[in-house]
Structure 1
Amino acid sequence: MKKTFKFIFTKSIGLYINILSLVYPDKAIQLAYSLFSEPRDGRLDKNNLPEILREAVTETHFHNKDHFQTYTWKGNDTTILLVHGWESNASRWENILPYLKQSGSTIIALDGPAHGLSSGKEFNIPQYASFIDVLAQKHQPQYLVGHSLGAKTCLYYQAEYQNQNIEKMVILGSPSDFKVILTNYTNMLSLNTTIYSGLEKHYLDNFKLKLDNFSGKYFASKIHTKGLIAHDTNDTIVLFNEAEKIAKTWKNAVFVTTKGLGHSLHDDILYKKIASFLFDTN
Structure 2
Amino acid sequence: MKKILSYFLNSSAFIAARWNGSFAFRLLCRVKRTNIDKSPNKFLDQASSRVLQDGDYRATLYTLGSGDRPILLLHGWKSYSARWEQLINMLDLEKYTIYAIDAPAHGRSPGDSLNIEIYRRFMVQAIEDIGKLHAVIAHSLGGLVTAYAYLDNPQLAVDRFVITGAPAGMQSIYDFFKRVVGLNQKVIDNMNQHIAENVTKIPPLDITLARFFTAIDKPVLVIHDETDRVCPIGYIKDAIPQGKIHAYYTKGLGHDLQDETVYERTKQFLEDLA
Deviations 1:31-58 (A, max 9, x none): 322221112134636x988211101001
> Matched residues in 2 for 1:205 and 1:237: separation?
28
Deviations 1:7-39 (A, max 9, x none): xx4333211222344665444333322221112
> Matched residues in 1 for 2:44 and 2:171: separation?
35
Where do 1:132-147 residues align within 5 Å?
132-140=123-131, 141-147=133-139
Aligned residue among 148, 163, 186 for 1:194: 186
Aligned residue among 207, 222, 229 for 1:214: 207
Aligned-residue offset at 1:157: 1.5
Give 1:61's aligned residue: 52
**Structure 1 stretch displaced more, 78-87 or 56-65:** 56-65
Aligned residue among 157, 181, 206 for 2:173: 181
When residues 246 and 99 of structure 1 are mapped into structure 2, their CA distance, relative to the original with a 3 A threshold, is farther
Aligned partners of 1:113 and 1:121 also within 8 Å: yes
Aligned partners of 2:49 and 2:63 also within 8 Å: yes
Paired residue type of 1:142:
H
Whether 1:78 aligns to 2:69 is yes
Aligned-residue offset at 1:195: 1.3
Deviations 1:97-153 (A, max 9, x none): 111236631101001132223344332222211111111112122110000010111
Give 1:51's aligned residue: 42
Aligned residue among 97, 116, 127 for 1:106: 97
Give 1:225's aligned residue: 218
Aligned partners of 1:203 and 1:209 also within 8 Å: no
Paired residue type of 2:85:
E
> Matched residues in 2 for 1:160 and 1:263: separation?
27
Aligned residue among 211, 219, 236 for 2:229: 236
**Structure 1 regions of 5+ residues with no counterpart?**
1-8
Provide the secondary structure at the position in 2 that maps to 1:94: helix
Give 1:89's aligned residue: 80
Aligned partners of 2:71 and 2:99 also within 8 Å: yes
How large is the Cα RMSD of the aligned pairs? Answer: 2.4
The count of corresponding residues between Structure 1 and Structure 2 is: 272
Whether 1:31 aligns to 2:23 is yes
Aligned partners of 1:21 and 1:195 also within 8 Å: yes
Alignment TM-score, normalising by the size of structure 1: 0.87
When residues 164 and 19 of structure 1 are mapped into structure 2, their CA distance, relative to the original with a 3 A threshold, is closer
Paired residue type of 1:248:
P
Aligned partners of 2:223 and 2:250 also within 8 Å: yes
> Matched residues in 2 for 1:276 and 1:48: separation?
29
Alignment TM-score, normalising by the size of structure 2: 0.89
Give 2:5's aligned residue: 13
Aligned-residue offset at 1:187: 3.3
Aligned-residue offset at 1:84: 0.3
When residues 211 and 50 of structure 1 are mapped into structure 2, their CA distance, relative to the original with a 3 A threshold, is closer
Give 2:246's aligned residue: 254
> Matched residues in 1 for 2:223 and 2:8: separation?
40
> Matched residues in 2 for 1:92 and 1:240: separation?
21
When residues 189 and 281 of structure 1 are mapped into structure 2, their CA distance, relative to the original with a 3 A threshold, is closer
Aligned-residue offset at 1:175: 0.9
Aligned residue among 252, 256, 270 for 2:262: 270
Aligned partners of 2:14 and 2:186 also within 8 Å: no
Whether 1:152 aligns to 2:144 is yes
**Structure 1 stretch displaced more, 144-153 or 208-217:** 208-217
> Matched residues in 1 for 2:14 and 2:247: separation?
47
> Matched residues in 2 for 1:59 and 1:259: separation?
37
Whether 1:129 aligns to 2:139 is no
